[in-house]
A and B are shown apart, each in its own frame.
Chain A
């Protein structure tokens, strides 16, 4: 069964460093998303991406964040200068249409 994959599973970084989280969406999907979940809190929407551009972003997704689809398979989330409060699980999701999003296993980001 096709699934969304994410790498790395766990990323530890120093405050102020740049990180890139990687995702491989399900191959025939056209819509891509990033969400985050701070420990013990709700899953929060960050950004959606369609047709090589951002279609929606939340107030969390400020200038420190960017997304890219560098090739036909990968979808990345970059955080330019990490802060302590960026520590969270980051989930990538994809969908064939605007409904029915399928999530990856997540990357646990720890900022020290």
Chain B
């Protein structure tokens, strides 16, 4: 069964304290791994797509990496405005996105 597991469920950081979020997956025929940001009461906001092991993508303080079994979202020197829930999702060979439960990040000033 296709599955996505994210850890930790919640993460509290001080402003400037770098860390990483983990996304482990099992999927039949990975056709892409996606990271989204979700603010309370809002829709997921697209961040990155990764397609193959070894691939990396960067956007401001965020960097996403992919291996054959997991992906990491590295946050460098986070700011309070980075506080949100970060969702990982995989695209399987039937065309649907399968989401993890998310990591809720809180960055304190």
Cβ B87 vs Cβ A43 within 8 A = yes
Cβ B91 vs Cβ A45 within 8 A = no
The CA-CA distance from A41 to B102 in the complex, in Å, is: 9
Other-chain residue from B42, B43, B95, B102 in contact with A98 (beta carbon distance below 8 A): B95
Cβ A101 vs Cβ B97 within 8 A = yes
Q: What are 28 inter-chain pairs, A to B, with CB distance below 8 A? A: A33-B96, A33-B97, A35-B97, A41-B101, A42-B100, A43-B44, A43-B89, A44-B99, A45-B96, A48-B95, A48-B96, A55-B95, A56-B94, A56-B95, A89-B41, A91-B44, A98-B91, A99-B49, A99-B91, A100-B32, A100-B46, A101-B97, A102-B46, A103-B43, A103-B46, A105-B42, A106-B42, A108-B41
Cβ B95 vs Cβ A106 within 8 A = no
Query: Does B98 make an interface contact (CB < 8 A)?
Result: yes
The CA-CA distance from A22 to B99 in the complex, in Å, is: 23
Interface bracket on B? 20 to 34
The CA-CA distance from A56 to B93 in the complex, in Å, is: 11
Q: Using a CB–CB distance below 8 Å, which chain A residues touch chain B?
A: 4, 33, 35, 41-45, 48, 55-56, 58, 89, 91, 98-106, 108
Instruction: Give the shortest distance, in Å, between B91 (CB) and chain A (any CB).
Output: 6
Closest Cβ neighbor of B94 among chain A residues: A56
- Could you list 6 further interchain pairs (A-B, Cβ under 8 angstroms) beyond the known A98-B91, A100-B49? A42-B99, A56-B94, A58-B96, A100-B34, A104-B43, A106-B43
Closest Cβ neighbor of B102 among chain A residues: A42
The CA-CA distance from A41 to B99 in the complex, in Å, is: 10
Closest Cβ neighbor of B48 among chain A residues: A100
The CA-CA distance from A63 to B32 in the complex, in Å, is: 30
Instruction: Give the shortest distance, in Å, between A77 (CB) and chain B (any CB).
Output: 14
Cβ A98 vs Cβ B99 within 8 A = no
Tell me the residues in window 27-68 of chain B with beta carbons closer than 8 Å to chain A beta carbons. Answer: 31-32, 34, 36, 41-46, 49
